[in-house]
Chains A and B, each alone.
Chain A
Amino acid sequence: MASTRIPPSPETQADATPAATSAGFLANKARFRFFGLTLDGCIKAFFGGNAVVAVLVLTLITIFLFKEGGGFFAQNRANLQIYRQAGLEYVDFIRAQTTGHTALTHELSDLRLRQFHRLTEAGKSLAEANAALAGFDEFANQFGDAIIPLRGLLSDLTETATALKSKFATTENLKIARQQLLAAGKTAEADKIVISEVNFDAELKPLLGTLPAYQAASAETAAKITAALTVKPALPTPELQARLEQFKMLAAAYVADFPAVEKNLRAWDYRQPVPFFRSITSFIFGRDWIAQSSWQEWYGILPLFVGSLMVSFVALLFAVPLGIGAAIYINQLASPAEQRIVKPCIEFISAIPSVVLGFFGVIFLGENLRLLSQQSWLAWVPGFPFSERLNILTAGCLLALIAVPTIFTLAEDSLNNVPRAFKEASFALGASRLQTIIKVIVPASLSGIISAVLLGLGRVIGETMVVLLCAGNRIAIPDFTAGLAVITQPVHTMTGLIAQEMGEVPVGSIGRHALFMIGLVLFFLSLLINWLAQKIVRRYRIAID
């Protein structure tokens, strides 16, 4: 260290070897090194590493979701293709025809039931009531029996198509097995597997050959219905009579639709390829989600999407007034003592495990809501009384509880950020407390409040356990014709279905890929909600220096 002790002249400094100079620095710096990093470097690397891990995990999740979900559309297309090739589509044209008839018969039985009640209420005995409805019954029976020829044909065709489909599936499985053997190098064993390609042309002959039979059956059904409609059964109650008239019009329209079905059957061609976009549209707009069916699997997200939205909407309906109201009270009106008690209580709600809330919903809330709905003095509430204890309303109430802490905390924060000066200015102009809150403080924090609501929505849409336990898990688009009563119907949700089925679908199956597609939809939905929330906060934030 001579160089440090003797102050070097400019010349010697210029001449000094690099080694000597670095030795001088090393003496001061070489205290701690880890993989060539100083302590500062290590700390920086540690924190930087944490940040990178977060980004990395997010990227991996996204890639994983896309990879697993992406395979879905190709598989779904194959699924739709075989639906056509094996003639299932053809059969479903006829099935739709019989389903239409079934719906009409339900209407008839409903009418009869109502009329029967009216009659017995009016003091008629059972025999008298039945006698009064004899004419109607005859008409109903005629109408009901009209479908028999078609239904017989349908059940034959169903068997044919199912057999063809399973034959195709077997062939496909054999092909896969052979490929696996070939890949493993066992050529001899692979050669032993005999694959006879399915000849759709030949196999579909009998199916298509039934067209004349269908025409006969359809004509017979149409004739019988038309004959039945000429009878004029009368119902004693005018209101029900009006409904019967309406029914007749519906039935006539139904029969008038028969030629269209026949036209579909004639035009149908199993060789026509299914375009790829059908695979996507049948997922996005499909109204059925039927997995693991012996007939045909359908993967339409619409009922689940609508279910999720309905449940979330009901939850926000309760949570928004509660959360924002509580935030305004606590931030503006409450005494310090009240703040100390209420705030932690609301925030604690978010600490309750959602499975516990769901359990509470199943055991307590659902049942009690059902009992409450059956009180006669509450009959004016739309949808009351209801008999399903697990429904949109039950799940929505519990989800509201989950959204309240989020909305409350964020809304309270944004109220807190309103400068005190606004409040003082308002008071100094002679505003009351309430006027100040409504006219100054809430408008000034509106962007924060809206984003609080959006983040609450994000929280609710992603919630799984509560909806799985309490929403009723019926995969169907709720019947919106019921008006507000729609909220007492059971639904299934996107999150709930994933949780329910993920353990049961085999790896690589279309069902599993479909679940991942739902995951992707959820992912993008949350992304959208969060992005909107942030955008609103930035866009409308008041410039306060």
Chain B
Amino acid sequence: MSAATLSPMERLPAPPPSSPSLAVAPVAAMSAPAADLPPSRPIIDIDHVDFFYGQSQALHDVSLRLDEKKVTAFIGPSGCGKSTLLRCLNRMNDLIDGARVAKGSIRIRGIDIHAPAVDVIELRKRVGMVFQKSNPFPKSIYENITYGLRLQGVKDKGRLDAVVEKSLRGAALWDEVKDRLHASGLGLSGGQQQRLCIARAIAVEPDIILMDEPCSALDPISTSKVEELIHELKKEFTIVIVTHNMQQAARCSDQTAFFYLGRLIEFAATRTIFMNPSNPQTEAYVSGRFG
């Protein structure tokens, strides 16, 4: 994502000329939702965001509005900025020295998350995250799930037990682990670990769950389980998922945003992106001709 890797590509003739106008076009379309999307209110409003890692710009003027209780997929080739944008949404980028939003704003339920009054800890309670590599804590399954609640000071055993069961059922893991809740989370298989991480994220009852390539380290069976889970979860949560897997985006998401070189190229209903993209670059990417 450094300037050195970006600049030579930007000199290529193919992408630039039409992209700015096209990037704006879908956003304009969003305000009057497309015919194939039922109307719903936006929960995340990303408004003309420029993002920098030190000197190198990772996002250029990205604008997006994501709907509540929908699954939105971010797709694009490596280094296109989709993960960066995802990590902006719960300010995980704060952990990286020199990373900053230089221009524009991100509003969640109308509140600018970069405003000085925003408590980033509160924000992260509302916006949960599941990472690329499953990362359960080296603690028991039970402690993993109750971690977030205990941070909030919940000590009531009954409530914690209830949340553990609810979250594990929510993550379709309950039947597999109900007999060994106090065994280490690291003893589970890769797919189970990832579902444990999802259970851990939903235990604090966030509004939004961010998923950063949640299946890239999983085998096909585990992957399909997580995808089914995403389908279930969208009844209660707004989900944003970054994926490299085009079929996955097509299967699980309601809307898809295509990024390239730090720019939003196209954003529309998933069916539109895959069946009838308006931008030739999007078409080239989803049909596997580049990326």
Which of A's residues lie within 8 Å of B, judged by CB? 336, 419, 421-432, 435, 439-440, 443-444, 542-543
Contact = CB atoms under 8 A, between A and B. Distances in A.
A425 B97 CA distance: 18
A543 to B, nearest CB: 6
Contacts of A444: 137-138
Given A426-B137, A428-B131, 16 more contacts: A419-B135, A422-B138, A424-B95, A424-B131, A425-B131, A425-B137, A427-B95, A428-B129, A429-B148, A430-B121, A430-B148, A430-B151, A430-B152, A431-B148, A435-B151, A440-B137
A140 B137 CA distance: 72
Given A421-B131, A543-B186, A432 B138 contact: no
B152 A542 contact: no
A528 to B, nearest CB: 28
A493 to B, nearest CB: 39
Contacts of B152: 430
Interface SS of chain A: helix, strand, loop or mixed? helix
Specify which of B92, B95, B128, B138 lies most central, judged by the most chain A CB atoms within 10 Å of its CB. Answer: B138
A443 B92 CA distance: 23
A429 B204 contact: yes
Contacts of A543: 186
B179 interface: no
A425 B135 contact: yes
Contacts of A423: 95
A32 B152 CA distance: 72
B133 to A, nearest CB: 6
B125 A425 contact: no
Contact of B204 (A430, A443, A542): A430
Contacts of A430: 121-122, 124-125, 148, 151-152, 204
B124 A428 contact: yes
B49 interface: no
Contacts of A427: 92, 95, 124
B90 interface: yes
A426 B204 CA distance: 12
A422 B124 contact: no
B163 interface: no
16 contacts: A336-B97, A423-B95, A424-B95, A425-B200, A427-B95, A428-B92, A428-B129, A429-B124, A429-B125, A429-B200, A430-B122, A430-B148, A431-B147, A439-B151, A443-B138, A542-B186
A155 B158 CA distance: 80
A376 B147 CA distance: 49
Contact of B151 (A336, A421, A422, A429): A429
B121 to A, nearest CB: 5
A422 B197 CA distance: 11
B265 interface: no
B201 interface: yes
B26 to A, nearest CB: 29
Interface string B113-143: 0000000011011001101010111110000
A440 B95 CA distance: 16
A310 to B, nearest CB: 36
A429 B147 contact: yes
Contacts, number: 65
* Pairs of residues from A and B, 6 with the lowest C-beta to C-beta distance, nearest first: A421-B135, A430-B125, A428-B129, A429-B148, A430-B124, A542-B138
Nearest to B203: A429
Given A421-B131, A425-B197, A543-B186, A431 B95 contact: no
A430 B137 CA distance: 15
Nearest to B91: A427
B139 A443 contact: yes
Contacts of A431: 121, 147-148, 151
B98 to A, nearest CB: 11
Nearest to B149: A429
Contacts of A440: 137
Nearest to A541: B138
Contacts of A424: 92, 95, 129, 131, 135
A452 to B, nearest CB: 18
A432 B124 CA distance: 10
A419 B136 CA distance: 11
A34 to B, nearest CB: 49
Contacts of B92: 424, 427-428
Given A421-B133, A439-B147, A542-B186, A428 B138 contact: no
Contacts of B137: 422, 425-426, 440, 444
A428 B186 contact: no
A421 B95 CA distance: 12
Contacts of B90: 428
Nearest to B94: A427
A422 B186 CA distance: 12
Contacts of A336: 97
Contacts of B121: 430-432
Specify which of A419, A425, A431 lies most central, judged by the most chain B CB atoms within 10 Å of its CB. Answer: A425
B151 A428 contact: no
Given A427-B92, A428-B128, A422 B135 contact: yes
Contacts of B131: 421, 424-425, 428
A496 B197 CA distance: 55
Nearest to A446: B138
A429 B128 contact: yes
Contacts of A421: 131, 133, 135
B201 A429 contact: yes
Contacts of B139: 443
Nearest to A445: B138
A256 to B, nearest CB: 60
A425 B135 CA distance: 7
Interface in B238-282: none
Contacts of A428: 90, 92, 124, 128-129, 131, 201
B153 to A, nearest CB: 11
A533 to B, nearest CB: 20
